[in-house]
Amino acid sequence: MKFLANPGPYIRGKKSTGQIMFELLIALVVVWIAAIVYNFVAIGSVYGVKAILMVVVSLGVTVLADVLVAAIRYKESKGPIVQYIRGEMAHNYSAITAIIFALTLPIGTPYYVIIVGALFATLIVKYAFGGFGSNIFNPAVMGRIFVAIAFSGSMLNYIGSPAGVPTLISGVTIMTSFAGNGAKWLTDTLPLINGTPLSMLTLYLGTYTAALGEAFTLLILALGVFLAVRRVINWRTPVFYLGTVVLTSIVVALITGLNPLDYSLIAVGMGGLAFGAVFMLTDPVTSPTSPFGKALIGVIAGFITVLIRLQGNLPEGVMYSIAIVNMICPVIDKLAYGYTNAGTLKKWGVVAAVAVCSLGINGGLSAVNAANYNNSSSSSSESSSSSSSSSEPAATVFKTLTGSATSSPDPEVGNMTMTVSVDLDKYYNIIDITFPQAATSGGGFASNWNSHYAAIIQYYKTIGLKGIINAVATPLDATVAGVTVSSDRLFDALKNATSGVSVYTGSATSQADPEVSAQTLNVDVYVENATISTINVYGGITTGGGFATNWNGHYDAVLAYYQGLPVADFLALSATPIDATVAGVTVTSDRLFAAMQNALATYGG
């Protein structure tokens, strides 16, 4: 029997792999430049230089990894070694992986984390499976997941102290703040960052602190359109991915009573969704080959992303959803085996079924989450308003600050005096702000004030006592129209109430063991009448596990020691006195002591 083999009637594309990767590289460099410009202009030169070096270090490590692997694989039969290594590096396109990986990291990521992550992505995820074209997982995605698991405590969103970053609250990013605002991922209100309301325009332009290259949603989407038109990426994957997230978000919003437009815009603009859709999910090596498969992974990834956002412990689910669809790509290719136009109805029926699952499952879970949150909030409100319902209130008032301010909106209207009380817990977090409801001269002024005062009080709770103390003027007039005089009066009353309190912020970095990553602890020290009233600790407190349990069990004793201590007595200390009284928290208490010294270095200056 004689078999005849003829070449198939394939239409060869006009672009080579090298040309495709070059255009993709240019798009990534554009995002990198945007990150450099933002960090230089909005924050400072230290951040701008770090934005440059993060990518440079990642690129350098991947190049060295390419050289190392090529040298190990080299055989004399393959020609001159230099020529062979150059050819291997040229056809592995590690620069793409290096830049994508670096752009997914926060600005405060230590260089050693970048080095380890880049080596893991290149040597383990890519070369362990044979190199470019043979890897099962997207190397940049797995590198990012690896460092997130191994070095989560070191991957900070700031360099040194969060005080210098205008879009952080005590080191908390916009994503974290949004995801933790009430029921997880069930709000259509953008967070307030240090007194500045975040707008949709800011969200999409990316002028806030996030992962190095993920915040520039408008730019990334525009680059995605360009790359799709140029046939560098297949349009089906990002369109079906973003489309699934948008449709699911609309259903979630309708079920939970949110604004569908605002909520869907937030779902797309927040986090790394756009970056993942354009630069990571479209990776040709780890995605299906058929048009049907490329659409299906978009729908599955969208489903999983929203599911993780609503139900997972992490604020974002993009990386994990991409890793999951990477695993099932061989199954999808098997499902799409054969002619492209064969079984069309069955294939797109599968896509529709997954989309319906996303709408139904995520919509149902959001309804349950919203109901549980509302019930919890209602129960908490009832228990706090009735002293007989519980022997211990939900939040114990440690101190109450009072102040007042008098002003008049018009010469023909008498002066109005507003008295305000600020209830604080033992860390000086604001529990509540109360004042007489007759805060205006009545009539339309009262009606307008009453409809806005809850939002105004929530604003001040969000920026906290530290934000009130540091504020120089009320920023509310621009966001809450029609209550100018009353909001000014409230601001003056709050400033009067906090006039006797000063806050000093400091930080210290140390590590418990050479094998444990360094931790940066931040502290706000509140001082009244030359005495430390309290401290508020945040940032890298411990490395977790038993250390965290031990610290949490002893923190009240540490706090009690510093509360009421005269500042002069503290400054006279040469070392922390806590170790002798609270065993087992040596490193963290030393770090706290050093951070307080750093904070009070300017006291009396």
Q: Looking at the structure, do residues 199 and 297 belong to the same domain, yes or no?
A: yes
A 10 A CB-CB count for 476 gives 22
Judged against a pLDDT cut of 70, whether residue 341 lies above it is answered with no
Q: Looking at the structure, do residues 220 and 362 belong to the same domain, yes or no?
A: yes
Judged against a pLDDT cut of 60, whether residue 58 lies above it is answered with yes
Judged against a pLDDT cut of 90, whether residue 56 lies above it is answered with yes
pLDDT tens across 300-335, in order? 999 999 999 988 877 788 999 999 999 998 888 887
Q: What is the pLDDT of residue 394?
A: 52
Alpha helices in 151-259 (DSSP H): 174-179, 200-205, 217-229, 236-256
pLDDT tens across 547-596, in order? 667 777 778 888 888 888 898 888 888 777 665 455 456 777 888 888 89
Q: What is the pLDDT of residue 537?
A: 86
Q: Looking at the structure, do residues 300 and 234 belong to the same domain, yes or no?
A: yes
Q: Looking at the structure, do residues 288 and 426 belong to the same domain, yes or no?
A: no
Q: What is the rounded radius of gyration, in angstroms, for the C-alpha atoms of the chain?
A: 28
546 belongs to a structural domain? yes
Judged against a pLDDT cut of 60, whether residue 260 lies above it is answered with yes
Mean of all residue pLDDT scores within the chain: 81
Of all helices (H) and strands (E), which one includes residue 527?
Answer: strand 519-528
Q: Looking at the structure, do residues 331 and 215 belong to the same domain, yes or no?
A: yes
Q: Looking at the structure, do residues 199 and 348 belong to the same domain, yes or no?
A: yes
Judged against a pLDDT cut of 60, whether residue 13 lies above it is answered with no
173 belongs to a structural domain? no
In this prediction, residues 167-194 reach a mean pLDDT of 72
Q: What is the pLDDT of residue 385?
A: 41
Task: With beta carbons less than 8 A apart as the criterion, state whether 599 and 525 touch.
Answer: yes
Of 3-17, 177-191, 362-376, the poorest mean pLDDT is in 3-17
Q: What is the pLDDT of residue 386?
A: 40
Q: Looking at the structure, do residues 223 and 293 belong to the same domain, yes or no?
A: yes
In this prediction, residues 116-140 reach a mean pLDDT of 87
Q: For the whole prediction, is pTM greater than 0.85?
A: no
Smallest CA-to-CA distance from 190 within 175, 170, 205 is with 175
In this prediction, residues 327-350 reach a mean pLDDT of 76
Alpha helices in 523-600 (DSSP H): 545-562, 567-572, 586-599
Q: What is the pLDDT of residue 142?
A: 94
Q: Looking at the structure, do residues 92 and 151 belong to the same domain, yes or no?
A: yes
Assign 389 a pLDDT band (cuts: 50, 70, 90): very low
Residue 536: domain span: 502-602
A 10 A CB-CB count for 379 gives 12
Q: Looking at the structure, do residues 256 and 232 belong to the same domain, yes or no?
A: yes
522 half-sphere exposure, CB direction, 13 A CA radius: 16
pLDDT tens across 459-494, in order? 788 888 888 888 877 766 545 545 667 778 888 888
Assign 393 a pLDDT band (cuts: 50, 70, 90): very low
118 belongs to a structural domain? yes
In the listed set 102, 136, 162, which residue is the last one of a domain according to the structure? 162
Of 81-85, 278-282, 319-323, 410-414, the poorest mean pLDDT is in 410-414
Residues 6+ apart with CB under 8 A from 409: 416, 440, 441, 445, 485
Q: Looking at the structure, do residues 259 and 288 belong to the same domain, yes or no?
A: yes
389 belongs to a structural domain? no
Judged against a pLDDT cut of 90, whether residue 115 lies above it is answered with yes
Q: Are strands 501-510 and 519-528 parallel, antiparallel or unpaired?
A: antiparallel
- The tokens describing 563, both together, are 């509360």
Range ranked top by mean pLDDT from 173-182, 215-224, 414-423, 583-592: 215-224
Inter-axis angle of helices 139-150 and 318-335, nearest 10: 140
pLDDT tens across 212-239, in order? 999 999 999 999 999 999 999 999 999 9
In the listed set 162, 197, 227, which residue is the last one of a domain according to the structure? 162
Assign 48 a pLDDT band (cuts: 50, 70, 90): very high
Smallest CA-to-CA distance from 257 within 369, 358, 360 is with 369
Judged against a pLDDT cut of 60, whether residue 353 lies above it is answered with yes
* Higher pLDDT pick, 450 / 58: 58
Judged against a pLDDT cut of 50, whether residue 387 lies above it is answered with no
Tell me, rounded to whole angstroms, the distance of Cα 544 from its chain centroid: 20
Q: What is the pLDDT of residue 197?
A: 64
Q: What is the pLDDT of residue 244?
A: 95
Q: Looking at the structure, do residues 115 and 192 belong to the same domain, yes or no?
A: no
Q: What is the pLDDT of residue 490?
A: 82
Residue/partner pairs of 99-102 with CB below 8 Å, 24 or more apart: 99/25, 99/28, 99/29, 99/32, 99/55, 99/58, 99/59, 100/28, 100/140, 100/279, 100/280, 101/58, 101/139, 101/140, 101/143, 101/144, 102/54, 102/55, 102/57, 102/58, 102/59, 102/212, 102/213
Q: What is the pLDDT of residue 225?
A: 96
Q: What is the pLDDT of residue 80?
A: 78
Pairwise CA distance, residues 175 & 178, whole Å? 5
Here the CATH number for the domain that contains residue 458 is: 3.90.1010.10
In the listed set 108, 133, 162, which residue is the last one of a domain according to the structure? 162
- The tokens describing 43, both together, are 């924050």
What's the number of domains the chain is made of?
4
Q: What is the pLDDT of residue 461?
A: 83
387 belongs to a structural domain? no
pLDDT tens across 362-381, in order? 889 888 888 876 665 454 44
Smallest CA-to-CA distance from 302 within 239, 253, 209 is with 239
Q: What is the pLDDT of residue 382?
A: 47
6 belongs to a structural domain? no
Of 44-58, 251-265, 523-537, 548-562, the poorest mean pLDDT is in 548-562
Q: Looking at the structure, do residues 286 and 435 belong to the same domain, yes or no?
A: no
A 10 A CB-CB count for 45 gives 10
Judged against a pLDDT cut of 90, whether residue 196 lies above it is answered with no
Distances in Å between the Cα of 104 and the Cα atoms of 65, 109, 143, 539 are 20, 10, 10, 20
